[in-house]
Amino acid sequence: MGNILNAQAPNEVITFLTEADKAMFKKWRGPSFEVQVGIHELLGHGSGKLLEQDKDGHFNFDQAHPPIHPETGKPVGTWYKSGETYSSKFGAIASSYEECRAECCGIYLSTDPGVLKIFGHADSQEANDVMYTNWLSMARAGLLALEFYNASSKTWGQAHMRARFAILRVMLEAGNGFVNIEQHLDQHEAIIHVDRQKINSVGKKAVGDFLQRLQVYKATADFAAASAMYDKYTTVPDDWLPLRDLVIEKRQPRKIFVQPNTSVDAKGAVTMKEYDATPAGMIQSFVERQV
């Protein structure tokens, strides 16, 4: 992952950010993404108990004193029956919904100084910059996700992108000036603003509440509530379509990685040859690799 994160084109264009945020993004996107991926995979996908009943009628929770549903304040009334799985219950939204849950874990827990310290960010200012860049990156990713939305069929083509759009909608819904998108469509421009002073208050609460619902609905096999909520946040309103057109207009070419080659001479010495970061360099690298 480190190799991929460090493979940045010298002329890469960063869209939809202010100049100050572009500088912050360039400096801290690698470390912030490392934090996000680490939490996403280990504490996101790696957590979240499902309430289940097996074929013999046994439960993996105390049926006499079941957990209290945080949304209703009453004991939970649904769980996975024998033979049911998360994928079978949640069907078409299962993958994206789970990615959304893991992404929310990433940004939510990145506000914890102890977590940031684990990743080597003990200095308070550095930790704050990494945390801010992580939230800023997620908001921007939610906007860029519109590239993967099919306006004709009203469907999403990529699970992570649908998830990130949902999180952006949650951030915007939080209000209080936390996140906003400044649009100048007549000038073919839009800028995302994230108030870093409100991440630990407005942002953390909004994403935390959303994450709680994501987890509770998943844990209790409540597909009806989960799909209604997820459809709400991932439906693209008509007034967002001009913004989608702008995202597509400004999308950057897909990265093509130019690989170096190594060779061993007659004396056994190993040399490495690098190539220009151009289409010609990529072709030359490929041709010489086959020789």
Count each helix (H run) and each strand (E run) in the chain, helices first: 11, 6
Query: What does residue 232 show for φ and ψ, rounded to 5 degrees?
Result: -60, -45
Residues 261-272 as b/e (b if ≥16 CB within 10 A, e otherwise) read beeeeeeeeeee
| Cβ within 8 Å of residue 226, ≥6 positions away | 90, 93, 97, 214, 217, 218
Nearest alpha carbon to residue 107 among 21, 31, 35: 35
Cα(272)–Cα(262) distance, rounded to whole angstroms? Answer: 4
- In the set 41, 189, 274, 288, the catalytic residue is 41
Look up 52 and say whether it is catalytic: no
- Residues serving a catalytic function are 41
